[in-house]
Amino acid sequence: MYCGREITQKPENDIIRDYCIQCDQFFYDNPLPVVAAIVVVKRQILLVKRKIEPQKGKWCLPSGYAESGESIEAAALRELHEETGVIGKVIGFVDIDSGFSSHSGDLLFVTFEAEWMSGTMRPGDDAEKVRLWDIERMPPLAFDSHNRAVSVYCRSKKEYWDMIDSFHLSVGESRSGRNGGNFLSDKLVRSVEINAEVIAKRWLEEVRSNPTTPTYALVEPTTSYQRSLLILRHFSQWLSGTYSDVLEREFYRGLGSSRKEEGYSLSEMLTALSLLRKTIWDFALEQHVLTSTIDIYMSQELERRMILFFDRAAYYMARGFEDKN
């Protein structure tokens, strides 16, 4: 190639390569780098519809070949802007893959996650259309490497998206008092439901021995045990959205009123309720080791839901207790 002599082939590290005997020089045929950008806005992914071959008319990520003299990240952002009009910022690596093209030979696909910083969405010269697709309803992509990268991206975001969805449900619950949606912490709630009798027994031992709740030590244990099971059942029904606000208000006001007639003080009545919440919380944590971010989130979410239920119960019990004054 340098001297004009005929190129032969010679093995180098068990790979057969083009070789010039005169120059004692190997010649390398390396894969071309192809970049792609994943831009997601509110769980909608930015895609372009190809106007040229290969895969003309199909949807794909904004992508193209890296140029000499530019970094791989700069190449991804350049292609993003050229094909979609979006000016982005690389915020993370997503995937790397290899493949073969009959047009370009061996390729190396590098995909980044990018943030939409500015710019107006419009198709570039190589694109027929550009639009945001719901990431759960996006069309089949033109290239296997793009399908793979999007799959890798979605798996990496699953726990985060689950936490966001569950948080939005918990916000709705805090506004309305209850919600029938699917919370991440429902797994812990089901464990509480299944083991209600165990929790009630633990609470009974605690409340009968605690110096701040002396009246409970004088009451028939079976009575207190059955009452705690009833509250646990109400807690479960409230979390599932089948427990009405009216029933909650009337039940706990009545409970506060009856406890006053039975000789309980307001402070020990509220302490007993607090101890039940603590017993539920301790039991739930025993059942689920907090080894990941989502585990920690589930426990925190359950705690928020418990606080909301028991604070309301405590309020209505106190109101019922005061009604007897």
Predicted local confidence at residue 304, as pLDDT: 82
What's the rounded Cα separation, in Å, for the pair 275 and 245?
Answer: 23
Start-to-end CA span in the chain (Å) = 104
Domain residue spans of the chain: 1-30, 32-159, 179-323
Q: What is the pLDDT of residues 31-78, one digit of tens each?
A: 789 999 999 998 999 999 999 888 899 999 999 999 988 999 999 999
What's the rounded Cα separation, in Å, for the pair 194 and 198?
Answer: 9
pLDDT tier, 310 (very low <50, low <70, confident <90, very high otherwise): very high
pLDDT tier, 290 (very low <50, low <70, confident <90, very high otherwise): low
Predicted local confidence at residue 8, as pLDDT: 79
Q: What is the pLDDT of residues 231-270, one digit of tens each?
A: 998 888 887 777 778 888 899 999 999 999 999 999 999 9
Distances (CA, A) of 119 to 71, 116, 125, 196: 22, 8, 16, 56
Average pLDDT, the chain: 85
The one-character DSSP state at 139 is P
pLDDT tier, 104 (very low <50, low <70, confident <90, very high otherwise): low
The pLDDT of residue 24 is above 90 = no
Tell me what percent of the residues of the chain surpass a pLDDT of 90: 54
Burial (Cβ within 10 Å: 0-12, 13-18, ≥19) of residue 288:
middle
Q: What is the pLDDT of residues 238-247, one digit of tens each?
A: 877 777 788 8
Alpha helices in 49-143 (DSSP H): 72-84
| Protein fold of 179-323 | Globin-like (1.10.490)
CA 294, 198, 254, 210 torsion: positive or negative?
negative
Q: What is the pLDDT of residues 137-179, one digit of tens each?
A: 999 999 999 999 999 999 998 877 776 666 556 555 443 344 4
* pLDDT (mean) for 176-186: 56
Judge if 32-159 and 179-323 fold alike in CATH terms. no
- pTM of the full predicted structure? 0.57
Lowest mean pLDDT across 197-206, 216-225, 235-244, 307-316: 235-244
**Mapping DSSP to helix (H, G, I), strand (E, B) and coil, where does residue 51 land?**
coil
* pLDDT (mean) for 113-124: 95
The pLDDT of residue 3 is above 80 = no
Q: Domain 32-159: give its CATH architecture.
A: Alpha-Beta Complex (3.90)
* pLDDT (mean) for 103-115: 87
